[in-house]
Amino acid sequence: MALFELEQTYGETEEEWTAPTFKDCAMKDIDLAFFNGDEHEDLHNIDGEDHLVIVEEEDIRERSAHWEAGAKQNFDTGLYTAHTILYIRVEDYGLKPKIGKLLVMDAGTDHKRTYSILLCEEEAGVYRMTLERIRQ
């Protein structure tokens, strides 16, 4: 038995604390680990606005063409396709883009690229866009 009772209050809280869910923790991890400028993401200009995004490097594939007179004949469609994966937060980009929409990355710089959106998937508040660019 104690000689006295000590009642301590550390601020009044109206609502009771509840443990965070797995989804709450995953959303925090997206911001703290993946969309952290010191870790994975870089600043790029996407459709005229600067955003922190994650870009997977290009995958270049030769386009199909036919041979005529000893030279490849597909000058109107390009010789190569370059595929890039772009990760951007839904809250940064806005509404989900339609397939085939043109996306301009790094406008106003030496690295300006125009892509066509092949696929856009949303998961846990992040768009994963598969982009294609035709090169000659």
Is 5 within the bounds of a domain? no
The domain that holds 86 is classified in CATH as 2.40.10
pLDDT in tens, the chain (136 residues): 567 777 777 766 667 878 888 888 887 877 777 777 677 778 888 998 998 898 887 776 665 555 555 555 555 555 678 889 999 999 889 999 999 999 999 888 888 889 999 999 998 889 999 999 876 5
Is 15 within the bounds of a domain? no
Is 74 within the bounds of a domain? yes
Is 16 within the bounds of a domain? no
Give the structural domain span for 109.
Answer: 22-135
Is 10 within the bounds of a domain? no
Query: What is the count of structural domains for the chain?
Result: 1
CB 58 within 8 A of CB 84: yes
Q: Where are the alpha helices (DSSP H) in the chain?
A: 22-29, 90-93
What is the Cα–Cα distance from 24 to 83, expressed in whole angstroms?
32
Q: Where are the alpha helices (DSSP H) in 9-69?
A: 22-29
pTM, two decimals, is 0.69
